[in-house]
Amino acid sequence: MSYRKTYSFRVQPQDVDFQYKVTMSAMANILLTTAGYNADDNGFGIRFLNEMECTWVLTRFAVEMNRFPEQYENISVETWIENVGRASTTRNFCIRDEKNEIIGNACSVWVFFDMKTRRAKDLQTLEGIHKFASGEAGLIEKPIKLDAVEGEDYDGFKVKYSDIDINGHVNTISYIEWISDCFSLDCYRKCSVKRFEFNFMNEMLYDDFVEIAGQEIATGDFRFEICKEDKVACRARVVF
């Protein structure tokens, strides 16, 4: 049995920024699409889980890029499940260019989520999923637990229709776009993102008020906290 599967993508104009390079959010979207394809191929995709009124929810996510692919470039994303525990499962990714050279890696942690109770479920109840766990580690450090942020306020706004996904809460891509927008065009001209990671902690729902605070804890190492009222919804890190 082959634990690893590879999926091909062509970078489209809507995936790139003003420098014709893939944005953080578009790169994340490609990776999450890959995860969805592979979950379907393994028989445990969203459509299967939805029949049980359940879904997959991303709790931690880290991406490291040697370089971001450019408009119309063909890339391949290899993915595999490292482990399946009771509380979460870890999926890894390796991104290659047309020359088969590695240009990035990623690691994601997921929970099996009950849509009715809005709580995580025991993965042991998903019969057969454990046979897909390879035990093979990824090529980057796993997403770390990010500390609280005591920085300056960056932005504030309400969650809108376009932020909500099929699970009824803010989608991963919106969180990444919100953090991406905390940096200026000049910053992106001068620097390249080397690593970005997210801890998703509490759901954000339609019409919640978003507050973003951030601080630079070391040169080029930025930490962020996204809150709603008195709850932390997400913590993030961007390293240039």
Closest CA to 194 of 31, 71, 24, 30: 24
Domain 152-239 has CATH 3.40.50.80: no
CA 4 to each of CA 1, 42, 93, 206: distance values in angstroms, whole numbers, following the listed order = 9, 11, 9, 37
Q: What are φ and ψ of residue 217, in 5° steps?
A: -85, -20
pLDDT, tens digit (0-9, with 9 covering 90-100), for 74-83: 999 999 999 9
**How many residues are present in the chain?**
240
CA 204 to each of CA 24, 25, 100, 199: distance values in angstroms, whole numbers, following the listed order = 21, 18, 39, 13
Q: Which residues of the chain have pLDDT under 70?
A: 1
Cβ-proximal residues to 126 (8 Å cutoff; 6+ apart), any chain = 44, 112
> What is the distance between the alpha carbons of residues 170 and 139, in angstroms, rounded to a whole number?
29
Tell me the pTM.
0.95
CA torsion sign for 111, 114, 119, 123 is negative
Q: Tell me which architecture the domain covering 5-132 has in CATH.
A: Roll (3.10)
The three-class DSSP label of residue 129 is helix
pLDDT of residue 151: 85
pLDDT of residue 110: 97
**Contact by Cβ (8 Å): 197, 62:** yes
- Please list the residue range(s) of the chain that carry CATH number 3.10.129.10: 5-132, 152-239
